[in-house]
Chain A
Amino acid sequence: MATATLVLTRIRVGNGLWTVLRIVLVLAALALVAYPLIFGGDVWAQRISRGAIYAIIGLSINTLTGHAGQISLGHQAFVGIGAFAAAFMASRLGAPLGFGLGAAALVGAITAAIVGMVALRVSGLYLALVTLAFGMTAETTIFNWREFTGGGAGASAPRPAIVESDFSYALLCLGVLALVLYADWRMVATKTGRALAAVRNNEQIAATLGVNVTGYKLAAFCFSGLAAGLAGGLFAHWNQVVQALDFEFQVALVWVLMTVVGGLRSRLGVIIASAFFALLPLTLPNFLASLPWQPPFLNEAVYHVLPPFIVVVLLLIVLRFFPGGLGQLLAPLTRRTAHKNGDRG
């Protein structure tokens, strides 16, 4: 596999052909989503919405971990807070969907700012510890706050008429994903992206170059929180009911691993890996049930741990054999020759 990658990267193709190839690639990817969306009925529309929501979460983690080199182990808290905020806006205040999603994004960003302002002042990966503690607190305190979350029954988040059907809701999710993708691309391609790369590689050198180290780390974390909150808002209306159970802290760990498996700083890799893990819990039980031979150890509890188990095994394979993740395998397709574009790593 690695040899194939090497050979492929050495093939130099003319500029025009590359543009054509990339357009074909994008069209193929769109067709891959469009086909089940149009012909798959409500089931596939729901699955595609879920995949898009997970992809936003993956990109959110990619911003923090891939670009800023920091780790959040409590991302489910930001997604959950966004989800409950959107549900609160929709069911209690009767606000339109746009306001609800805006509130979800805002709440996510503000929460990230508060946590980040404390944790990112200290050099090192203290954010990982603080977000883990925050995630547990959110799980037990915020999500158990009855007035806000509606207790065990959960908070309802009805969809407005315009995105009532699963098909139109999938389009909305894909639209938001495109927006986040655009924001991520602009961030990487501009001064912010270069500053973050400097901070990630060496904080001290970045500081001597006049880069505000804490400021950029905080900005990346706020953007990450914003995207996570937005994803939470979309999740709320996808499920139409928000329950604290959906935001256990193990979920956040799986998300971080899934992003690394997709390949840090590779948008396509992250999206593919995220969509895969979004669909895994939905399709795995059916797939296993349809097997001709039932392994004896399979039961309900095992279904619950299989997705984390699969993500960990993939992670260990990825870290050992191709540290760039899925993005590294896709690199020959998505990048021009290295000398042309420069090393973006």
Chain B
Amino acid sequence: MGAFIALGLFQGAVYGLLAVGIVLVYKAKRVFNFAQGEFGSVAAFSAFYLVVALGLPYWVGVVGGLVAAVGTGLIVERVIVRPLESASRTIMLVALVGVALFTIAITVLIAEPIPRVMPPLIGGSGVNILGAGILPQQLILLAVLAVLAAAMAWFFKTDLGLAVLASSQDIRAAQVVGISPVAISRLVWGMAALLGGVAGLLYAPVGIFTPGFMTLTMLVPAFAAAVLGGMTSLPGAFVGGISIGIVQNLGIYLLGQQLAVPGAAELGVFALLMLVLLIRPQGLLGKEA
């Protein structure tokens, strides 16, 4: 059981990392960003192409992957988000789902749906934590999550972060005091894509990856993590991500292994999401408005 908790802790780090990006977009735009996972896929596939197919050094792959992710984020902002600024939230959400599906379809078309293995940032054998073998890559992942969640929490204390919040609350009043909504929009989507790219680059080497790997299995737990954390709280995204990872793995242990219920991981996440909305819709660390 200890091994499952340890596995869940590190699995949860990925959810937390995606949740940080989701929370950023939600704070700034009040919209659920269903494309967050695909920024990670774009980064992972670009890095794989540069490092494995072209044989370039690893840092070139990392930089290239992040540039590709941010580029995708800016294109999404320009082509989809900004023209729909005045449309309803419902339409915006549908459009972001469309972006995610589109990116998956493009990845399948360009890079056939075969499993790939990305070399890790630091090689070497796993560390034994509570009886579970944890790769160095996963340790890095957890550390990066802690740093980025703290950095984003700090960002919202700076003038620029306050400008993002102001623009989110009243776009016209923000314009009056000289905050450009276009610049804010670009900044938010660029940062969200960067965070998604980091998540994708760090998670791809943990196992094998296929087109849509970030969206198909990671996105729902990441949203559950953001909701559990309170949707607007960055420390909440950190705590939520790790909690979801642990709950998911306890679900696998208790339901899957002991009771042989199929799909215990998904069931655990769904049950937790329902419980949070039922008992504490504002989440663990969320504040009103």
Binding site for B on A (CB under 8 A): 65, 69-71, 73, 118-119, 121-122, 124-126, 128-130, 132-134, 136-137, 139-141, 144-145, 250, 253-254, 256-257, 260, 297, 301-302, 304-306, 308-309, 311-313, 315-316, 319-320, 323
Binding site for A on B (CB under 8 A): 30, 32, 79-80, 83-84, 87-91, 93-95, 97-98, 100-102, 104-106, 108-109, 112-113, 219-220, 223-224, 227, 261-267, 269-270, 273-274, 277-278, 281
Task: Output the nearest chain A residue to B278 by Cβ-Cβ distance.
Answer: A118
Q: How far is the CA of A139 from the CA of B220 in the complex (A)?
A: 14
A323 adjacent to B87 (CB under 8 Å):
yes
Specify which of B105, B108, B224 is in contact with A133 (CB 8 Å cutoff).
B224
Min CB–CB distance B281 → chain A (angstroms):
5
A121 adjacent to B262 (CB under 8 Å):
no
A133 adjacent to B101 (CB under 8 Å):
no
| Secondary structure dominating the interface of B | helix
B277 adjacent to A122 (CB under 8 Å):
yes
Pick the most buried of A132, A137, A313: most chain B CB atoms within 10 A of its CB.
Answer: A137
Specify which of A121, A124, A139, A253 is in contact with B97 (CB 8 Å cutoff).
A253
B90 adjacent to A65 (CB under 8 Å):
yes
A133 adjacent to B269 (CB under 8 Å):
yes
B90 adjacent to A312 (CB under 8 Å):
no
Residues of chain A with a CB closer than 8 A to B105's CB: 305-306, 308-309, 312
B281 adjacent to A71 (CB under 8 Å):
no
Please judge, given known A-B contacts A137-B266, A319-B84, whether A256 and B109 are in contact too, CB under 8 Å.
no
Q: How far is the CA of A309 from the CA of B270 in the complex (A)?
A: 28
Specify which of B95, B101, B273 is in contact with A250 (CB 8 Å cutoff).
B101
Task: Output the nearest chain A residue to B26 by Cβ-Cβ distance.
Answer: A124
Min CB–CB distance A264 → chain B (angstroms):
8
**6 cross-chain pairs, A with B, having the tightest CB-CB distances, nearest first:** A140-B263, A144-B262, A141-B263, A309-B105, A312-B102, A137-B270
Please judge, given known A-B contacts A136-B220, A139-B263, A253-B101, whether A121 and B281 are in contact too, CB under 8 Å.
yes
Please judge, given known A-B contacts A141-B263, A141-B267, A254-B101, whether A70 and B87 are in contact too, CB under 8 Å.
no
A133 adjacent to B98 (CB under 8 Å):
no
Task: Output the nearest chain B residue to A249 by Cβ-Cβ distance.
Answer: B216
Min CB–CB distance A37 → chain B (angstroms):
32
Residues of chain B with a CB closer than 8 A to A133's CB: 220, 223-224, 266, 269-270, 273
Task: Output the nearest chain A residue to B97 by Cβ-Cβ distance.
Answer: A253
Residues of chain A with a CB closer than 8 A to B112's CB: 301
A257 adjacent to B101 (CB under 8 Å):
yes
Residues of chain B with a CB closer than 8 A to A69's CB: 88, 90
A323 adjacent to B80 (CB under 8 Å):
no
Specify which of A71, A134, A257, A301 is in contact with B270 (CB 8 Å cutoff).
A134
Q: How far is the CA of A134 from the CA of B105 in the complex (A)?
A: 23
Q: How far is the CA of A21 from the CA of B109 in the complex (A)?
A: 45
Specify which of A70, A137, A297, A320 is in contact with B90 (CB 8 Å cutoff).
A70
Specify which of A130, A304, A323 is in contact with B273 (CB 8 Å cutoff).
A130
Q: How far is the CA of A83 from the CA of B266 in the complex (A)?
A: 22
Specify which of B109, B224, B278 is in contact with A309 (CB 8 Å cutoff).
B109
Please judge, given known A-B contacts A71-B93, A136-B266, A257-B98, whether A305 and B109 are in contact too, CB under 8 Å.
yes
Specify which of A73, A126, A145, A257 is in contact with B277 (CB 8 Å cutoff).
A126
Residues of chain A with a CB closer than 8 A to B104's CB: 305, 308
Residues of chain B with a CB closer than 8 A to A297's CB: 109
Q: How far is the CA of A139 from the CA of B108 in the complex (A)?
A: 22
B263 adjacent to A71 (CB under 8 Å):
no
Can you pick out 11 interface pairs between chain A and chain B where the beta carbons lie within 8 Å of each other? A65-B94, A73-B97, A125-B90, A129-B32, A129-B273, A139-B266, A141-B264, A305-B108, A315-B95, A316-B102, A319-B91
Q: How far is the CA of A297 from the CA of B224 in the complex (A)?
A: 38
B94 adjacent to A312 (CB under 8 Å):
no
A260 adjacent to B91 (CB under 8 Å):
yes
With contacts A136-B266, A136-B270, A315-B94 known, what are 12 further pairs, Cβ within 8 A? A124-B89, A129-B220, A132-B220, A133-B273, A137-B269, A250-B101, A254-B101, A304-B108, A306-B105, A313-B102, A319-B84, A323-B87
Task: Output the nearest chain A residue to B79 by Cβ-Cβ distance.
Answer: A316
A315 adjacent to B98 (CB under 8 Å):
yes
Please judge, given known A-B contacts A121-B277, A319-B95, A323-B87, whether A308 and B262 are in contact too, CB under 8 Å.
no
Q: How far is the CA of A306 from the CA of B106 in the complex (A)?
A: 10
Residues of chain B with a CB closer than 8 A to A137's CB: 263, 266-267, 269-270
Please judge, given known A-B contacts A126-B277, A301-B108, A301-B113, whether A257 and B267 are in contact too, CB under 8 Å.
no
Residues of chain A with a CB closer than 8 A to B273's CB: 129-130, 133
Task: Output the nearest chain A residue to B273 by Cβ-Cβ distance.
Answer: A133
Q: How far is the CA of A320 from the CA of B86 in the complex (A)?
A: 12
Q: How far is the CA of A320 from the CA of B84 in the complex (A)?
A: 8
Residues of chain A with a CB closer than 8 A to B97's CB: 73, 253, 256-257
Specify which of A70, A122, A253, A312 is in contact with B281 (CB 8 Å cutoff).
A122
Residues of chain B with a CB closer than 8 A to A73's CB: 97
Q: How far is the CA of A53 from the CA of B101 in the complex (A)?
A: 23
B98 adjacent to A312 (CB under 8 Å):
yes
A320 adjacent to B83 (CB under 8 Å):
yes
Task: Output the nearest chain A residue to B262 by Cβ-Cβ distance.
Answer: A144
Q: How far is the CA of A323 from the CA of B84 in the complex (A)?
A: 10
Min CB–CB distance A270 → chain B (angstroms):
14
Q: How far is the CA of A119 from the CA of B109 in the complex (A)?
A: 36
Q: How far is the CA of A260 from the CA of B266 in the complex (A)?
A: 28
Min CB–CB distance B172 → chain A (angstroms):
18
Task: Output the nearest chain B residue to A201 by Cβ-Cβ distance.
Answer: B88
Min CB–CB distance B176 → chain A (angstroms):
24
Task: Output the nearest chain A residue to B219 by Cβ-Cβ distance.
Answer: A132
